[in-house]
Chains A and B, each alone.
Chain A
Amino acid sequence: MNKKPLTVSTIAANNLRRKPFRSISLIFLVSIFAFTLFGGTILAKSLEGGMDSLSKRLGADILAVPYGYEANIQSALLRGEPSTFYFDEQIIGKINTIKGIERISPQLYIATLNAGCCTYPLQLIGFDPKTDFIIQPWLSYSLDHPLADGEILVGSSITAKVGQKLKFFDQNFLVAAQLEKTGMGFDTSVFMNFSTAKKLAKESERMQLHPVAENDNLISSAMIKIKNGYNVKDVANNILQAYAKEGVAVVVSKNMLSDISVSLNGLSLYIYILAGILWFLAITVLIIVFSVSLNERKKEFGIFRVLGAPRSMLVKLLLCESIFISLLGTIAGTIAASLIVFPFSTYISSLFGLPYLQPSYGVILFFGLLSFLISLTVGPLASISVAIKIGNSETYTTMRENE
């Protein structure tokens, strides 16, 4: 015999427990909404974070690439997608003669491969540590020595510790440092100096021909920073005018970022619209279910009134039931979203092909609580009209209506 005191919440819990199919269906409905709201918000915020990180810390105002590969450099930067395009390294010296250029640094995309360390393809990138202003600012701490031959820097998503050795094309490389989370393709990339990169290209020839193995003077891109006081577009135009004939194309970072920004805003809008539709749907379905069950339960409410329950108690009972449904649905949805969004963030970012940087724990907690509160409103909002209807009905009529 259960001798625990009967309260509104224990009665509400009993009512839900004794109607498991109905309760689980309603909880599932709320959980879908909570899943979309929380998961979608974290997704949108991560994309915004990636975008923000990219615009603040990309470092280069202009990217010079071989003509026809403008889109490829974006894919390589944003998603770490395979990029093997090359032009002669002499172009660096030539572009450097253009007025307004403060710094210029070459990069060399060697290969994309699947390695034992990771479940996703890695991009191997060569860079010049002496002139670099793109990669090294992302290091979580400064190296105490210039990056030596055989040493590598790894992106934040790569599961390797400093001092560990990673093997590519049957060669061992020492992890010298790890980059911070960038939200870009850098997170799944491995960086090395030019001489190591070229050696690796030659090793890769065992599997397939590699242009870099044949020609030592190739690079993939040139990252360019403009001096203060110079207009980026003017400098980009000057580069094009001077070297377009030599197969040089340019990508202006700001334009690239604004393109991404447009598609990102569209995506965020879709997520919020979807969450809004689901919120409305969840409330509507719950209103219908509560209204239908109200007719079934008129006699039950009448009995409560006969036994001396004031109208306010019936309202509390209904609200309590709906809050339980919302609460359980919200918890289930939030946990489900967390189990997908957090462990699979790398996969999700590659799926979207946009910069993706998960917000800090504080921000996640804030949006988690916000989504939680919004999801929690579903039940009470849906049941309030039914609760008022019950509160206003006459007991005797209520009981007789169902006979």
Chain B
Amino acid sequence: MLLEIKELKKEYKRGERLFMAVDNINLSISHGDFASIIGRSGSGKSTLLNMIGGLLKPTSGSISFNGTNLHTLKDKEISEFRNFRLGYVPQGTSALSNLTVFDNVRLPFYLAKRQGDASGRASFLLAEVGLPHLADMFPAQLSGGELRRVFIARALMNSPDILIADEPTADLDVETTSEIMKLLSSINKNGTTVLIVTHELDTLEFGNRVLTMSSGKLTESLPTNIKYEIHS
């Protein structure tokens, strides 16, 4: 099992009241899965994803990655985990505006202080996502769809075990959404586990698992039933 989540809870304080964003979730993700988490805004999807990414500490419960409980790790260890094992595409624009597209993609390699041909790998990834001609541009010069491709390329820089993307197709037109999903699907077919959060039901067909979040609780549905369940 690649990822094992047990009795995971996350509580926030809203004024004097406690708010349960993630409520006692259990989940297992295997190597090679392509899982999509859907749900309404505020249902706790992003909170769950950020806890899996080691960006947010749970109130209780555990997240194990290849048998290691993430939230017992020290800062340096969890940083290494994010750098080596996990490719993360955050919600919205997550470009470093002072670096070129090429440097944005190369950056995770240097954060890991790895030895090797970072530039070669970055060029390869930019070609894979169809943007080799934009390497010297700055993020402000790119469109929303191009930026998402850059973030995906950056997330794959250190060949992670799992790629996590928080709403990778938000604000994109239908055609670009389809291109991004095809890209994620091909990444998954090449052996990388993919976990995404999405609002768009049309994207679910690219994955093999669909998880629905509602009021902090997670349930698993069959991809074929999901449209009916959501609408009813």
Contacts and interface: CB of A to CB of B under 8 A. Distances in A.
User: Do chains A and B stick together as partners?
Assistant: yes
Interface of A: 1-3, 5-7, 11, 14-15, 17-19, 299-300, 302-313, 394-397, 399, 403
B92 interface: yes
A102 to B, nearest CB: 75
Given A395-B55, A396-B50, A310 B79 contact: yes
A308 B96 contact: no
Interface in B179-205: none
Nearest to A13: B98
Contact of A306 (B90, B100, B103, B136): B90
Contact of A308 (B98, B100, B108, B135): B108
A299 B139 CA distance: 15
A6 B112 CA distance: 11
Interface string B93-130: 01111111011001110111000001100010000000
9 contacts: A5-B118, A17-B98, A305-B55, A307-B82, A307-B111, A308-B112, A309-B111, A310-B79, A311-B75
A79 B144 CA distance: 72
Interface string B115-156: 000110001000000000001100000000000000000100
Contacts of B106: 6
Given A2-B103, A7-B110, 17 more contacts: A6-B107, A14-B98, A18-B97, A19-B98, A300-B96, A306-B53, A306-B55, A307-B88, A307-B111, A308-B83, A308-B112, A309-B111, A394-B56, A395-B56, A396-B55, A396-B56, A399-B90
Interface of B: 50, 53, 55-57, 75-76, 79-84, 88, 90, 92, 94-100, 102-103, 106-108, 110-112, 118-119, 123, 135-136, 154, 158
A7 B118 CA distance: 13
Contacts of B98: 11, 14-15, 17-19
Given A5-B110, A6-B110, A305-B79, A403 B92 contact: yes
Q: Which 7 A-B pairs have the closest CB atoms?
A: A308-B83, A310-B79, A396-B56, A18-B98, A308-B82, A3-B119, A396-B55
A343 B166 CA distance: 63
Contacts of A17: 98
Given A1-B136, A18-B98, A395-B55, A310 B118 contact: no
Contacts of A311: 75, 79
A2 B82 contact: no
A403 to B, nearest CB: 7
Nearest to A313: B111
A2 B154 contact: no
A311 to B, nearest CB: 5
Contacts of B108: 307-308
A294 to B, nearest CB: 15
A185 B92 CA distance: 73
A303 B147 CA distance: 14
Contacts of A307: 82-83, 88, 107-108, 111, 154
Given A7-B110, A309-B111, A303 B90 contact: yes
A17 B100 CA distance: 13
Nearest to B50: A396
Nearest to B100: A2
A19 B138 CA distance: 14
Contact of B75 (A5, A6, A310): A310
A395 B99 CA distance: 20
Contact of B57 (A309, A313, A394, A399): A394
Contacts of B123: 1
Contacts of B79: 305, 308-311
A400 to B, nearest CB: 9
A24 B79 CA distance: 34
Nearest to A399: B90
A312 B100 CA distance: 24
Contacts of A11: 98-99
B83 A1 contact: no
A395 B76 CA distance: 14
A312 B111 CA distance: 11
Nearest to A17: B98
B111 A308 contact: yes
Contacts of A3: 119
Contacts of B119: 1, 3
A11 B108 CA distance: 13
A293 to B, nearest CB: 12
A309 B57 CA distance: 17
Contacts of B90: 302-303, 306, 399
Nearest to B92: A403
A395 B119 CA distance: 27
A40 B39 CA distance: 67
A130 B33 CA distance: 107
Contacts of B75: 310-312
A70 B231 CA distance: 106
Contact of A310 (B55, B76, B88, B158): B76
B212 to A, nearest CB: 22
Contacts of A14: 98-99, 103
Contact of B102 (A2, A5, A312): A2
A303 B139 CA distance: 14
Given A18-B97, A395-B55, A308 B103 contact: no
A86 to B, nearest CB: 74
